[in-house]
Amino acid sequence: MKRFLALLATCATVLGLTALTGPQAVAAAGCTADYTITSQWQGGFQAAVKVTNLGTPVTGWKLTFALPDAGQKVVQGWNATWSQSGSAVTAAGADWNGTLATGATAEAGFVGSFTGANPSPTAFALNGVACTGSIGEPPADSDGGTPVDVNGQLHVCGVHLCNQYDRPVQLRGMSTHGIQWFDECYDAASLDALANDWKSDLLRIAMYVQEDGYETDPAGFTRRVNDLVDMAEARGMYALIDFHTLTPGDPNANLDRAKTFFASVAARNAGKKNVIYEIANEPNGVSWTAVKSYAEQVIPVIRAADPDAVVIVGTRGWSSLGVSDGSDESEVVNSPVDATNIMYAFHFYAASHKDAYRSTLSRAAARLPLFVTEFGTVSATGGGEMDRASTTAWLDLLDQLKISYANWTYSDAPESSAAFRPGTCGGGDYSGSGVLTESGTLLKNRISTPDSFPTG
């Protein structure tokens, strides 16, 4: 369900700002910089900057620029060390993203305040070299239809999730809460909103095994999962079938149930292009060796019926690649699951899981195919205040690394991780400002931006 880690930066680097009034592009023989304000409210704003190094490799980079209005201040930033003196702002790369190879891009951002106007800066320098060139237009959004129409059957290529054109893609979407508790949140109206208003690429179907879930009615829960797969397919979304094991933390305790369930859903959905299987949500209190053994017994069951679908394997420490247990990605890198067309799950909750988790994700992404099948904007309990800065740093990193994600949770649960205010489900409105929580508003704004899936 909820707890754990986070992702971090790529080998490229990060930092940046952005202005709500529209992107300002500047570059030079040495660099390009794109500043955009991503959101703004009374007296405050959030900005992001994307920097591309066009010159020789840079180690220990610093981006400098001046805020045009005296009332503009940097309050809190991410993916760089931010400082301000008067109007002059400096963003310096962190230890994990301090090197920018030729052609490499770094992204970062900050929350700022302002008292007068909030204009965008127009002059940037990378390590003293002015960014005076121009940045090309971003790729146009694919106009070939729904996410499934455009991408077709997905597969793993290298460390990426790839589409039918063998091009890396990033899916962005939402996870249900436990369907035994919040089933009314997943009707035709809510999934229409998710596909058409939120423009979500996928629906993660969280089927708890214990906690009044699958073990109480295997046939009924299997039928409901299949119904949701069909509903996602009809709307052009991918369906991520989550065998939501949490307590007990050893997935082997549910090995027989997993084999029965996946044999059934794989046989029934083998002809579909929109299905992805997540075989163990958050292994905890168990070794990687035990998780690997479980995976190597369940995956053949799926492959016997559905040889082509992507399978996602949970990792130790609540799917933190072991970080929450004091380990790291090396145990998976050194002893990967003996199977093909698989990915590894990574989970984080932004208010609880920050730099150590991001650093692990950044390293691991160069060696392992990763999918963030669950993350939250709040603490690992699913409650507390939303951490906007950490959430944005995470999402910027996932975008940069093209790592797919599903947010917890598309529900009206009485917890701050929920996208909707309590009492929303069943009411017909799943997109209006009156029903969205702070977390739901942020996620809807991120997910609904164009995907620009590559087709060539």
Which residues have a catalytic role annotated?
282, 374
Euclidean distance between CA atoms 447 and 172, whole angstroms: 6
- The Cα 305–Cα 283 span in angstroms is 25
360: preceding bond cis by omega (within 30 degrees): no
Contact 96, 359 (CB under 8 A): yes
Q: How far is CA 63 from CA 16, 60, 84, 129, 366, in A?
A: 8, 10, 12, 9, 25
Distance CA 437, CA 274 (A): 29
d(CA 320, CA 282): 8
Contacts of 143 (CB under 8 A, 6+ apart): none
Give CA angle at 191 (189, 192), nearest 5°.
Answer: 65
Between CA 238 and CA 163 the distance in angstroms is 12
Q: How far apart are CA 289 and CA 110, in angstroms?
A: 40
Question: To which residue do tokens 């309590």 refer?
Answer: 422
Phi, psi (rounded to 5 degrees) for 436 = -85, 140
Name, in order, each residue with C-beta under 8 angstroms of 435's C-beta and a sequence gap of 6 or more: 420, 421, 424, 427, 429
Cα–Cα distance list, 205 to 115, 175, 243, 365 (Å): 45, 6, 9, 25
Which amino acid, one-letter code, is at 338?
A: D
Distances in Å between the Cα of 450 and the Cα atoms of 87, 305, 379, 445 are 33, 34, 28, 11
3-state secondary structure of 404: coil
